[in-house]
A and B are shown apart, each in its own frame.
Chain A
Amino acid sequence: MPRIGVFVCQCGNNIAATVDTKKVAEEMGKLPGVVYTCDYKFMCSSPGQEMLRQAIKENKLDGIIVSACSPHMHEKTFRKAAEGAGLNPYQCEITNIREQCSWVHHDKTKAAGTVKSIDLTRMTIQRLKKNQPLKKIKIPVKKKAMVIGGGIAGIQAALDIAEGGREVILVEKEPSIGGNMARLSETFPTMDCSQCILTPKMVEAELNENITLYTYSEVEKVDGYIGNFTVTVRRKSKYVDEERCTGCGECIEKCPFKVDSQFELGLNKRKVIYTPFPQSVPNVPVIDAPNCTKIQKDKCGACAIVCGPKCIDFKMEDKLVTEEVGAIVVATGYQNMPNERFGEYGYGRIKDVISGMQFERLASSSGPTGGEIRRPSDGKIPQSVVFIQCVGSRDEKKGVSYCSKICCMYTAKHTKLYSHKVHGGQSYVFYMDIRSGGKRYEEFVRGAIEHEGAMYLRGRVSRVYEKNGKIMVQGADTLSGNQVEIEADMVVLATAVVSRDGADTLAQRLGIGYDKYKFYNEYHPKLKPVETVTAGIYLAGTCMGPMDIPESVAQGSAAASKVLALFSADEMAREPITSVVNRTTCNACWDCVTACPYTAIEREAIKDRQGNVVRWVAKVNDGVCQGCGVCVAACRSKSIDLKGYTDEQVFAAINAF
């Protein structure tokens, strides 16, 4: 006969107002197997927990039930207390008589609430009788991390993990780390130069002994689980030996071919052998193979001739590298929505309609104009510039429904930069609302409007067209109620922040979720903002949604702290609520494999002594399984059970109802 104790909590008046806790305790005492019952004001308090421990010891209880609040609140507390009294923690079960009972009943006579509490507790008692003692799962942890994406969030995460004394591999798709931040001119709200604050971090990442940089590389495959990931990285061929290259730049000098520079967003040309920007890290050029005549047609080869250390190899091929890591930080960043979608603003049709990011390049001292604001068509200094906000953002029909969050701030910054660089120039801003929440952000925008002379017009632009060499911008000023037409020399579009192309493919490789905009999903939007549903994979920066530099950096550090906490022990203890397969009845239909959101189920071959495969069965990897129970529902032959929530337990509970 089991010896069960039932502890009914009054939760002050939270439960006791509509539930007669004393009666619940008394009724439970009448059930077979229940040897101890009590009710108390606050079971979770220190005296309450002490009472529980005492009762377990004195009555030699082998299972306890606490009828109190949601297990989300105090299941851990009570299981720990039970463990303290020598009980297996999983022999402690919670009945939720607060959220699921007292709070939904308003009957002060306590009739309905009490009856329901008795029912719920009785179900838990029957369930408890079928409980099996469980042990926490221990998983070994490989203390090496991988950061995917070498923008500011990724760099920060890598630096922090390295500072914590752990090895990090920083994987970057482009030839240089730096990401979108490397393109920016100045940064709001302090107006310090983006590259001046970024490049020291880039160099730090390069020099840090704990950080291995894999630039021009992409993640191809991810296997394994928390503490034990195996990641295959494709290191694209640079055609330049990284080890021997001195970064002298002779090859770039000599290369006779020029193509549009992606880094400069088409505002400038670059050579076919190139580094994206002068401060690139690592300072090793790569050859753009599709445009290289040597590689395509075996003509030229000038770069190889001038190269002192002879490190150019036109026959170099992509390499696949396999890395074993314990944790992964995903910081793949964002891109801007293609402006071509907005024909009414003339992008692509009118040369001097540019994107906000292109404006950053124009204003950047390392940009194509050396920091002078000159329009792309004829190089003239524009005397009036119209900035259009919310291009694609907050536009469910043609763009995205969310707010891109950073545009209000950077547009204000653009007007400031413009007024600093072009004295006497007039800037106009068409906006929907100004969203400037953040430390010193509102002051920054007010400064742009009140001190720097930017003309803010609340309304949308309907049409942009060319007339006599000017760009005519027609729009509404909803505050004055007038239609306005502005003659501009240049138009700047604040295009929406969107997820990167291929973000969904990477998410599928990693087994993490994403929303309809292909931004990655955090585990919990408030309380687990850098975790994903897949344990051991963390997020940082704009791959999750629009955010500014301070937020991205904070997230990089947050993700790093999660990684370091994971790496602080050799083994990781996990809740043993995982699925288990009955190998004798498994049909190997693999429904569980396809149903599992965490790719936690593998195919296992059962072999005879000669090594011949006798049959195939499913196998749950305890390290990855999150105990969601989808496989249990998917299994037609009921060959999977969830520990802690076994069929037997659930059936017993239902039967007791």
Chain B
Amino acid sequence: MEKTLRLKAKELLESGEVKVVIGYGWNRSKTRTTPVFITDPADVDTLVWNPLCVNNLSLYLTRKYKEIKALGRPAIVAKGCDIRNIVVLITEGQFKREDVFIIGMTCNGTVYKQDLWKGELTPNIMPTKCHNCDVRNPHVTDFVVGEKSTFTPPEVPTGMVYDKVKDLDSKSQSERWAFWVKEFSRCVKCYACRQVCPLCYCERCITEKNMPQWIETSAHPRGNLSWNLTRAMHLVGRCTFCGECERSCPVNIPLNLINQKMIGVVKEAFDFKSGYDEKTHPPMIVFSPDDKENFIK
């Protein structure tokens, strides 16, 4: 797979069809993969592909990375789950489909955290999303690398995140509240969750609006709660459950839980899953006379 990937990258760069290939490369000690940005066809051998390629590189297509935009048309090495984010970015007008060359990677799952890698991909080191993945064969691509995957996700999604959501749902309102207050109290407002999220692409985040300052910036429980709830609300109907926020959180706040819960709510209310169709705008933000109004009681 790596060979095909490198050949394609070389071809794209040499023909001038793209100016930069965004992909994965090794770190110096070859223990982790890290994003690489290849502009010279001679460097394509830097590109790698293996289960450590967990990062969601679609982040580098957003307006947050102006210096990458300035390089010219990009090609991106993307797993199906990453492509879902690219699709959302397209629906939200961040760029056009033809503005990016998508090299879709057929994927058999990744490790949840790179440190867990012991040389073999076993189910217990894969994140919940991989166990329920329906885009192992990437769905929106210009070029596909890899053999077709025959994996079919279970009908009822399974895994730790779903179990925990169910567990939380069964608790009382005050118990849930206590749970989240406790979890959020650890937040140090480093905003890693925001920086790593491909859909948190605002040039000025609401937390940085100080006239007026809606969200307190200090790591105080009140500001923590408003930040984390605002972040979750801003992703409703958009989040693709890529898991990058939780993976990057230094204090292990279970952000996947809140994201997955909201995905479930949107699925139920609008029968919508984000990141599959680049023509459908996330439903939470679309005025439609047909919207159900059964929430008004």
Contact, CB under 8 Å: B206 / A638? yes
B42 in contact (CB, < 8 A): no
A513 in contact (CB, < 8 A): yes
Count how many chain B residues have C-beta atoms less than 8 Å from C-beta atoms of the other chain: 20
B119 in contact (CB, < 8 A): no
Of the listed residues A589, A594, A637, the one surrounded by the most CB atoms of chain B closer than 10 A to its CB is A589
Task: A596 to B209: give the CA distance in the assembly, Å.
Answer: 23
- Which residues from 623 to 657 on chain A have a C-beta closer than 8 Å to any C-beta of chain B? 630, 634, 636-639, 647-648, 651-652
Task: A627 to B57: give the CA distance in the assembly, Å.
Answer: 39
B156 in contact (CB, < 8 A): no
B295 in contact (CB, < 8 A): no
A84 in contact (CB, < 8 A): no
Q: Which residues of A contact B202 (CB under 8 A)?
A: 585, 587, 636-637
User: Which of the 9-residue segments B70-78, B100-108, B243-251, B282-290 touches chain A?
Assistant: B282-290
Contact, CB under 8 Å: A585 / B287? no
Report the minimum CB–CB distance from A633 to chain B (whole Å): 9
Closest to B88 in A: A589
Q: Which residues of A contact B289 (CB under 8 A)?
A: 504, 507-508, 513-514
Closest to A598 in B: B287
A314 in contact (CB, < 8 A): no
Report the minimum CB–CB distance from A123 to chain B (whole Å): 14
Closest to B204 in A: A585
Contact, CB under 8 Å: B201 / A587? yes
Contact, CB under 8 Å: B204 / A595? no
A590 in contact (CB, < 8 A): yes
Closest to B281 in A: A594
Contact, CB under 8 Å: A637 / B204? yes
Contact, CB under 8 Å: A630 / B287? yes
Q: Which residues of B contact A40 (CB under 8 A)?
A: none
Contact, CB under 8 Å: A585 / B285? no
Partner pick for A636 among B206, B211, B287, CB 8 A cutoff:
B206
Contact, CB under 8 Å: A589 / B206? no
| With contact pairs A589-B93, A594-B287, A596-B287 given, residues A637 and B203 touching in the complex (Cβ less than 8 Å) | yes
Report the minimum CB–CB distance from A654 to chain B (whole Å): 9
A34 in contact (CB, < 8 A): no
Task: A651 to B212: give the CA distance in the assembly, Å.
Answer: 7
Q: Which residues of B contact A504 (CB under 8 A)?
A: 289
Partner pick for A638 among B92, B93, B209, CB 8 A cutoff:
B209
B131 in contact (CB, < 8 A): no
Task: A591 to B205: give the CA distance in the assembly, Å.
Answer: 15
- Which residues from 571 to 596 on chain A have a C-beta closer than 8 Å to any C-beta of chain B? 585, 587-591, 594-596
B270 in contact (CB, < 8 A): no
B32 in contact (CB, < 8 A): no
Closest to A589 in B: B92
Contact, CB under 8 Å: B203 / A595? no
Q: Which residues of A contact B93 (CB under 8 A)?
A: 588-590, 603, 616
Count how many chain A residues have C-beta atoms less than 8 Å from C-beta atoms of the other chain: 27
Task: A514 to B209: give the CA distance in the assembly, Å.
Answer: 38
B94 in contact (CB, < 8 A): yes
Q: Which residues of B contact A630 (CB under 8 A)?
A: 287
A48 in contact (CB, < 8 A): no
Task: A652 to B234: give the CA distance in the assembly, Å.
Answer: 24
Q: Which residues of B contact A634 (CB under 8 A)?
A: 285
Task: A593 to B95: give the CA distance in the assembly, Å.
Answer: 16
Task: A596 to B234: give the CA distance in the assembly, Å.
Answer: 17
Task: A175 to B84: give the CA distance in the assembly, Å.
Answer: 50
B143 in contact (CB, < 8 A): no
B177 in contact (CB, < 8 A): no
Helix, strand, loop or mixed for chain A's interface? mixed
Q: Which residues of B contact A637 (CB under 8 A)?
A: 202-206, 209
Task: A514 to B290: give the CA distance in the assembly, Å.
Answer: 9
Task: A273 to B129: give the CA distance in the assembly, Å.
Answer: 64
B179 in contact (CB, < 8 A): no
Task: A603 to B285: give the CA distance in the assembly, Å.
Answer: 17
- Which residues from 300 to 341 on chain A have a C-beta closer than 8 Å to any C-beta of chain B? none
Q: Interface readout for A590-613 with B: 1 if CB under 8 Å, 0 if not?
A: 110011110000010000000000
Closest to A599 in B: B287
Report the minimum CB–CB distance from A533 to chain B (whole Å): 11
Contact, CB under 8 Å: A648 / B287? no
Of the listed residues B206, B212, B281, B286, the one surrounded by the most CB atoms of chain A closer than 10 A to its CB is B212
B63 in contact (CB, < 8 A): yes
Contact, CB under 8 Å: B287 / A597? yes
Task: A651 to B202: give the CA distance in the assembly, Å.
Answer: 22
Task: A634 to B206: give the CA distance in the assembly, Å.
Answer: 12
Q: Which residues of A contact B214 (CB under 8 A)?
A: 638, 647, 651
Contact, CB under 8 Å: A648 / B212? yes
Task: A585 to B20: give the CA distance in the assembly, Å.
Answer: 27
Q: Which residues of B contact A652 (CB under 8 A)?
A: 212
Q: Which residues of A contact B92 (CB under 8 A)?
A: 589-591
| With contact pairs A637-B203, A637-B206, A647-B214 given, residues A587 and B63 touching in the complex (Cβ less than 8 Å) | yes
Report the minimum CB–CB distance from B85 to chain A (whole Å): 14
- Which residues from 240 to 293 on chain B have a C-beta closer than 8 Å to any C-beta of chain A? 281, 285-287, 289
Contact, CB under 8 Å: A594 / B286? yes
Of the listed residues B203, B234, B285, the one surrounded by the most CB atoms of chain A closer than 10 A to its CB is B285
Of the listed residues A638, A639, A652, the one surrounded by the most CB atoms of chain B closer than 10 A to its CB is A638
Q: Interface readout for B183-203 with A: 1 if CB under 8 Å, 0 if not?
A: 000000000000000000111
Report the minimum CB–CB distance from B98 to chain A (whole Å): 16
Q: Which residues of B contact A508 (CB under 8 A)?
A: 289
Q: Interface readout for A497-541 with B: 1 if CB under 8 Å, 0 if not?
A: 000000010011000011000000000000000000000000000
Q: Which residues of A contact B63 (CB under 8 A)?
A: 587
Task: A651 to B211: give the CA distance in the assembly, Å.
Answer: 9
Report the minimum CB–CB distance from B66 to chain A (whole Å): 11
Q: Which residues of B contact A588 (CB under 8 A)?
A: 93-94
Contact, CB under 8 Å: B203 / A590? no
Report the minimum CB–CB distance from A653 to chain B (whole Å): 11
Report the minimum CB–CB distance from A618 to chain B (whole Å): 10
Q: Which residues of B contact A648 (CB under 8 A)?
A: 211-212
Task: A476 to B209: give the CA distance in the assembly, Å.
Answer: 71
Q: Which residues of A contact B206 (CB under 8 A)?
A: 636-638
Contact, CB under 8 Å: B203 / A585? yes
Closest to A655 in B: B212
Closest to B283 in A: A594
Contact, CB under 8 Å: A595 / B94? no
Q: Which residues of B contact A638 (CB under 8 A)?
A: 206, 209, 214
Task: A5 to B209: give the CA distance in the assembly, Å.
Answer: 32
Q: Which residues of B contact A514 (CB under 8 A)?
A: 289
Q: Interface readout for B121-156 with A: 1 if CB under 8 Å, 0 if not?
A: 000000000000000000000000000000000000
Task: A597 to B288: give the CA distance in the assembly, Å.
Answer: 8
Task: A590 to B204: give the CA distance in the assembly, Å.
Answer: 16
Task: A636 to B92: give the CA distance in the assembly, Å.
Answer: 12
Task: A470 to B10: give the CA distance in the assembly, Å.
Answer: 85
Report the minimum CB–CB distance from B295 to chain A (whole Å): 15
Task: Please report A residues at the B interface, Cβ cutoff 8 Å.
Answer: 504, 507-508, 513-514, 585, 587-591, 594-597, 603, 616, 630, 634, 636-639, 647-648, 651-652
16 A-B pairs (CB sep. < 8 Å): A504-B289, A514-B289, A585-B202, A585-B204, A587-B94, A587-B201, A587-B202, A589-B201, A590-B93, A594-B281, A603-B93, A616-B93, A630-B287, A638-B206, A638-B214, A652-B212
Other 14 A-B pairs with CB < 8 A, given A595-B285, A603-B93: A507-B289, A508-B289, A513-B289, A588-B93, A590-B92, A595-B286, A596-B287, A636-B234, A637-B206, A637-B209, A639-B204, A647-B212, A648-B211, A648-B212
The 10 closest A-B pairs by CB, nearest first: A651-B212, A637-B202, A589-B92, A585-B204, A594-B286, A591-B285, A597-B287, A594-B281, A590-B93, A636-B234
